[in-house]
Chain A
Amino acid sequence: MSSNSLEIVGAPGLKRRAKILVAKIGLDGHDRGAKVIARALKEYGFEVVYIGIRQTPEMIAKAAVQEDVDIIGISIHSGAHMVLIPELIEHLKRLNAEDIKVIVGGIIPWEDAQRLKSMGVSEVFTPDTPIEVIVEKINKLLAGKNVEQK
């Protein structure tokens, strides 16, 4: 964030800002992490669409396409990531939307994280990741896209 002083900023003009969809995938009600991240991203100046818990891969992919987000942030603590995340990526391909980047946060073993990345996941964050690191990685993913970012 540019400063901690609560200065009212002007309107951002009719230019695009980075847009991120945050969702919990599958049968997993542990949404505190997802809410913390979604709210933090708002405070860093991102436009966040939060769709909450119990979302199927297809529901997430279709919502992301309708919202035309740059990034999908998935939170998962159920252990089903090796099944559900590849399904999400498959649905994005089917919708001709592979360019939407997928990042995952949750209890993900290191080996699984490597496999997810080889399948097309851009970043995997474990629970100890500071929000500043997540924002920095997101900004790297957005580099080259025509969006205003923090």
Chain B
Amino acid sequence: MSKNNIDTLLYRALNGDIRAISKLLTIIEFPADHDIETISSIMRNLMNRGGKAHIIGVTGSPGVGKSTLISKLISLFRDRNERVAVLSIDPSSPFTLGSFMGNRIRMQSHSLDPNVFIRSTATRGVTGGLSPSSVLLIEAFDGLGFDKIIIESVGVGQTDVDIINVSHTVINVLMPGAGDEIQAMKAGIMEIGDIYVVNKSDKPEADLVYRQLTEIIRSSKYKSKYGWVPKVVKVSSIMGHGISELGDIIDEHRKFLIDRGSFSDIIIHRRVYSVELILKYIIEEKIRKDLKKDGSDILDKVVSGNIDPYTASLTIYNKLAKTC
């Protein structure tokens, strides 16, 4: 892209032109389609403006009600006249790389609001909850001046904790009937929340889950990052119960981070982590591509049992490290 075109697109996007914002995001989402100068000049411009948005990561298993909850949060933030961006991540097929992205359906009531921008994106073969593109899109939304950026992680498993690395506030959404307190005691996803939402509180056993979580957090040696004691709140997104209480806790957490100076520490961490994530992705791609090509003799020996996978991996690693 020519410098003129980039400047025009940036100018329009920064003035709130939806089509321009969208086109800009597409360029950033698929950086490999463009020359490096285009990407770096856009990103430099946006990142120099960024660092102000409050990033809220919403995570939880598939079907717990993340999208519906987000829709309610959008309304809450819009009532205070904040500009809201949502990045909603859904899984790609491991077989065809196709994706059925159905999160937006829960948020369509905001589709005519010019101050709400919702973008769906697919994981494209990456696990952990975030794709390499998503960290670039977060920087872009921040630079475009959105006050709140809500990241909806893909419906996660127990170890998909990447969202903690990009969010100021992590909301872990749970629901009754999805396991007893043993699940809540496990490592991984059950340790990363700043706020635990017991969603679908209109259903039976919501109180039980609430009490179990509260007890586990109370008795935990480790507090959430930066010394914040995680909060538990019961919500029914459908009935609208508990939403304003959740909103108050989100504000409280933001204030806590700012008072401690942690708000900007998280941005520093996010930007370093972004490099790590993208670099890891590029290296993984290189391994995937080169392994069968350059490592076929070693692989044959592993298959026949003459070399073990550990020795083979180290041998290949040493070979790759030389060519990198």
Contact = CB atoms under 8 A, between A and B. Distances in A.
Contacts of A46: 98-99
Interface stretch (B110-118, B144-152, B172-180, B190-198): B110-118
Interface in A7-56: 7-17, 38-39, 41-52, 55
Given A55-B108, A62-B111, A10 B125 contact: yes
Given A65-B22, A95-B18, A42 B99 contact: yes
B104 A63 contact: yes
A11 B117 CA distance: 27
B285 A45 contact: no
A52 B99 CA distance: 16
Interface residues of A, number: 41
A50 B122 CA distance: 13
A13 B33 CA distance: 10
The interface size bin for chain B is: 35 or more
Contacts of B30: 14-16
A9 B97 contact: yes
Interface centre among A6, A43, A49, A55 (most CB of B within 10 A): A49
Contacts, number: 120
B31 A1 contact: no
Given A11-B281, A13-B32, A16-B26, A49 B112 contact: no
Interface in B78-136: 92-102, 104-105, 108, 111-112, 117-120, 122, 124-126, 132-133
Contacts of A63: 104, 108, 111, 118
Given A58-B112, A63-B111, A9 B125 contact: yes
Given A12-B125, A14-B32, A66-B22, A52 B108 contact: yes
Contact of B96 (A10, A16, A45): A45
Given A11-B284, A68-B26, A38 B100 contact: yes
A16 B33 contact: yes
Interface of A: 1, 6-17, 38-39, 41-52, 55, 58-59, 62-63, 65-68, 95-97, 146, 150
Interface of B: 18-19, 22-23, 25-26, 29-33, 92-102, 104-105, 108, 111-112, 117-120, 122, 124-126, 132-133, 281, 284-285, 288-289
